[in-house]
Amino acid sequence: MKYAVFILLVIILNSCQFFETEKISSETFYEQEKAQLDWKDVDRYPTFPACMSFTEKAEQKKCFETTVLDHLYRSIENRDLEATQALHDTLWIEFVIAKNGELILRNPLDMDSLTKASLPHLTAWIQESMDSLPRLEPAYKRGIPVRSHYSFPLVLATTD
């Protein structure tokens, strides 16, 4: 009986290792989480006050894009655009929305010399239009505001 109790005690003491949990350092956990994140996707798109009621991600994206493009096109339409020659050009408007919701135009517009000569104030008009957008909430990833990059095409098509 002594041997049975001794063997049972040895088995119980050795089995404790099966109940131990593996400890993961915070650095290892951080690296694992960082590797799993899709950095090109956000949980919530930047939001204008008019878009606050949308909860679905696709609706938020559509409202954000529509608001920016409508505002931009309306402000350019209100300008006195007169080109000396027919233009057919696509300009990419690249901007960043900072963590605090500030919209920053990234690069000067990359336009060919004909477009630049025909519409010399176009860059200033686009900057003015982007600056006059309503204040917005930044994009969020896992509940944290993040910086996000966007680019939209601006198609210029005039006739003689």
Could you report the per-residue pLDDT of 141-152, keeping only the tens digit for each? 888 899 999 998
Could you report the per-residue pLDDT of 52-79, keeping only the tens digit for each? 888 888 999 999 999 999 998 888 887 7
CB < 8 Å & 24+ apart, contacts of 153-156 = 153/90, 153/91, 153/92, 153/93, 154/72, 154/76, 154/90, 154/91, 154/92, 154/93, 154/126, 155/89, 155/90, 156/87, 156/88, 156/89, 156/90, 156/91, 156/115, 156/119
Q: What is the pLDDT of residue 55?
A: 86
pTM: 0.70
The domain limits of the chain are 2-36, 49-157
Residue 91's pLDDT band, with cuts at 50, 70 and 90, is: confident
